[in-house]
Structures are given as structure tokens and as C-alpha cells.
Structure 1
Amino acid sequence: MISSDPFRQHAEHLRQWRSRFVCRSVNREAYLANMPWPVLTRETNNPSRTTTWTHVLSSLLKCICVSCGHHRRSRAFIESLLPVSPRMSRPTCLPLIAVIVAGNVCFLQPSVCASATIDVYYAPEDHPIDRVVSLYARATRYIYVSVYGLTAPSVVKALVEAKHRGVDVRVITDRERLNDPKQQSAVKTLRLAGVPIRINRHEALMHLKQVVIDDAINASGSANHTTSGNRYNDERLDVITDARLTAKARDKFLTMWNDRERFVVWTE
């Protein structure tokens, strides 16, 4: 007798079909014709290699459960997750293996994406450079600045103060932009405070407006570190709090910093 509870009915129905599935004597054609759900098949020399959604979903749930953990790169552990049914072929399981290998996907590691934030500020209404100055004031380890225009007194002051706190402050700026007396004065002030400065030696512009702070925050956009970029121009600044994206921005800065062919120490 089958219970009126729909969940129990489904469980009983599933049990019956599973028992039919693992039975080697079942007639394949009749079995497929009476299946209440889709069947995945892989045509091989062995026609018995038929995989139902039941096996796929059960294995997929196992994969998702472990894909966020430290086991996801263990081949032996992955192999142990594969279904042991004689009708389950290894080629059919390849999508399940891919799920584990791709364990860095956001929906498998929600903790990584859940902590990421992007705050967007527009000039002139949001005074984006003031936001950057507040980030400089909270830095404890390092501040890596690659910016085309750097003349705002508030920025220079914040970077000097950070240097005095023991923060590793480095600046990359554009060679041609240093023809501006205001920028030259600002950069000299930073250098006198002990902040190392590098400039591009290649013919193109060093046109980045990027800040990287403490492996936690990176900021970029259209706004230069200038009074105009803060109060008058139409500009945008994105402040991104995400370890992975910040690491990428940090690596880009350090690649430029260590590239002796394209960037040199400013000594004027």
C-alpha cells in the first residue's frame, strides 16, 4: 500500500525505479520506455552504460558539498565520489569532475563573493578623492598608487602621514605629467618624505588611476588625484573590497614597479 503523503510516494517510487535500474536482467528498451524522468545515455560498445538523473544529481550534490573544502584538489578523493553503479561510465562522470575542479566558482564558494563590495562615487557630488584620502588614513601595511595626475594637497598630506606611520608607500606616475609645476611640487614633497617615485620611460602614457591598499581594497576609475578630479570634473571612482581582485591589482602594480625597461626611478 502506498501512502497518501506525496513525499513518501515519491520516495517509494524512486526506490522501485532504482531497484529496477540496478537489476542486470531488466529489459533495456522497456526500461527506458517506462522511465518517469529523462535518461542520460552515452553510446559505447556496452549498451548497459546508462546513467539516470538520480545518479547524476546524487553525485553532483556530493561534489558541491566538497568543492568548497580542502579535498577538492585531491584526485583520490574525487575518484571516491564517482558512482559505483556498473551502468555508470567514467566519461559520463566528466562533468561532475569538472564541477569539483572549478571549485573557485562563486556559487560554490559563496563566502568569497559574499564579502566583496563595490562602492561607486561620482564627482563632483561625492568628492571621490576625499574617499581615497580616508582610505589612506586607515592603511596599516602598504599603499601602492599608480596615478596620472597627482596634485591634490590632501592626497599628498595623507600619503606623507602614512609613510611616517611606517606604511610602505610607493607611487608610479606619468613622465610627461611631471611637466606640470603643481605635480612636480607634489611629487617632490613625497620624495622628501621618503616615498619612492617611479615614472614611465616608454612613449605611451602611464594613464592608470589605481590605488591598492593592504591586500584588501583597491580603487580605480577616471578620477585623478587632483582638486579638479574631486570637485569639478565629471568623474567616477570604484572602491572594491575583495581580496582576489585586490591581489590582481597589487600584482599589476608590482609588475610595473619591477619593470626596469619601462619604468625608472624619478630623481629630479
Structure 2
Amino acid sequence: MSGKKKLITLLQVSLLACPLFFTSPLFAMTDTPSVQVGFSPEGSASALVLDTINSAENSIRMMAYSFTDPDVMYALARAKKRGVDVRIVVDYRGNTNRASREAMKYINLLKIPLRTVDVFPIHHDKVIIVDGNTVETGSYNFSRAAARKNSENVVVIKNMPDVAAQYLEHWQDRWDRGTNWQPVN
């Protein structure tokens, strides 16, 4: 084979191998940061909240003011079932009604750690931190009214571990100030 043919063959093989080389795990690019928004009662806020929970592989840290939405509870239950470490901290006074108590009993039955916070006039955080990498926040309470009636917003910040770390620090402070919740019989 002439030198020219060898060079052409080498170039062809190189071109064929390039996609394999650059798509190997060794050279995989990290996920690109992204921001998504959703609104209710249009439905996109609820969808983003559920998508965020459903995307969890390792951990979910949640802070809530109102906690009554069955869809959110069931999504958290499915996450726990697939091995995700789920922990929740909620406002004490905002969750004394019957619907909240029932939701919290359900979470307690699943052995998901749940704490209430009463050291602030209102613990008004509405945040989900997933896998130390994704944050869902906004005005959206984890309630049916937020999903179906109220004008609410959700922002999901993905692949921004520095932002998630700040929210995790805030979550940990609230968790540390909380009290383990137990149902009253």
C-alpha cells in the first residue's frame, strides 16, 4: 500500500473512532446547568415538582410550609421505595389541620424522617433539594390548592451543585432546629 493510501486509511479509521473516544465515560461532559419554570393552576408547576422528586437517585431534602398534596406524598413514597434517602422538615403551625396530619401520618408510616419547626413565626420555605445538585423552589406550597386553584410559581435549578449546597446548608439548619414528628393517637 502506498504512503498516500495508508494516510487516507489512517484518517478514515481516526474519523470513525472519534465519536467512540469522545463519548466514552472518561471524556463525558458534565451535565449543563439549566433553569425551568412552571406555574399553577395551569399545571406546569405541579409537573415540575413531581418531575424533580421522580428524578432523585440518592437523596431528597424537603422544606415545606403546607404539606397536604397526595401526589407529592405518593411521589415521595415511590422515591423512598427505590432507595432514595428522603427527609422532610415542615412548619409546625401550618400543618395542624386534619389534611396535614393525615399526610404526615402517611409519611411517618413509610419511616420517612419528618420534623416540624416552631422556632419561627412561620417556617415558609418551599424547597426540594435532590441529589445535592438540583433545587426546586418558589411560592408553590405542597398542597392541592397550590396545584389546582392558587396562582403559584416553581423554579427548578438543575446541575448547579454550588446553589444546591447553599440550600442544603439552610435545610440542615432548619432540620437541626426541628423536632421529630410523631402522630398523636
TM range (shorter): 0.7 to 0.9
| Residue identity in the other structure for 2:89 | I
After TM superposition, list the pairs within 5 Å mapping 1:104-115 onto structure 2: 115=32
| Contact preservation (8 Å) 1:199, 1:264 | yes
SS in 1 for 2:86: strand
After TM superposition, list the pairs within 5 Å mapping 1:48-87 onto structure 2: none
**Mean Cα displacement is larger for which, 201-210 or 155-164?**
201-210
> Deviation of residue 203 (structure 1)?
4.4
Matches of 1:187 and 1:246 in 2, distance apart?
Answer: 25
SS in 2 for 1:139: coil
Q: Does 1:247 align with 2:165?
A: yes
Aligned-residue CA RMSD in angstroms?
1.7
SS in 2 for 1:224: coil
Match of 1:178 in 2: 95
Matches of 2:51 and 2:45 in 1, distance apart?
Answer: 10
Pick the aligned partner of 1:266 from 165, 181, 184.
181
After TM superposition, list the pairs within 5 Å mapping 1:188-199 onto structure 2: 188-199=105-116
Matches of 2:170 and 2:102 in 1, distance apart?
Answer: 27
Matches of 2:156 and 2:163 in 1, distance apart?
Answer: 11
> Deviation of residue 198 (structure 1)?
0.5
SS in 1 for 2:63: strand
> CA-to-partner distance for each residue in 1:13-60, whole Å, 9 max, x for gaps?
xxxxxxxxxxxxxxxxxxxxxxxxxxxxxxxxxxxxxxxxxxxxxxxx
**Which gives a bigger RCO, structure 1 or 2 (Cα 8 Å, sep 6+)?**
2
> CA-to-partner distance for each residue in 1:150-201, whole Å, 9 max, x for gaps?
1111110010111111111001101112211101100110011010111113
Matches of 1:122 and 1:153 in 2, distance apart?
Answer: 19
Pick the aligned partner of 1:149 from 58, 61, 66.
66
Q: Does 1:229 align with 2:146?
A: yes
Match of 1:205 in 2: 122
| Contact preservation (8 Å) 2:67, 2:95 | no
Pick the structure with greater CA Rg.
1
Pick the aligned partner of 1:136 from 53, 65, 68.
53
Match of 1:256 in 2: 174
- Mark the runs of 5 or more structure 2 residues left unpaired by the alignment: 1-28
SS in 1 for 2:39: strand
Identity %: 27
| Contact preservation (8 Å) 1:173, 1:199 | yes
After TM superposition, the score normalised by the length of structure 1 is 0.55
Pick the aligned partner of 1:216 from 120, 130, 133.
133
- Mark the runs of 5 or more structure 1 residues left unpaired by the alignment: 1-110
| Contact preservation (8 Å) 1:127, 1:231 | no
> CA-to-partner distance for each residue in 1:47-77, whole Å, 9 max, x for gaps?
xxxxxxxxxxxxxxxxxxxxxxxxxxxxxxx
Matches of 1:178 and 1:255 in 2, distance apart?
Answer: 20
| Contact preservation (8 Å) 2:127, 2:138 | yes
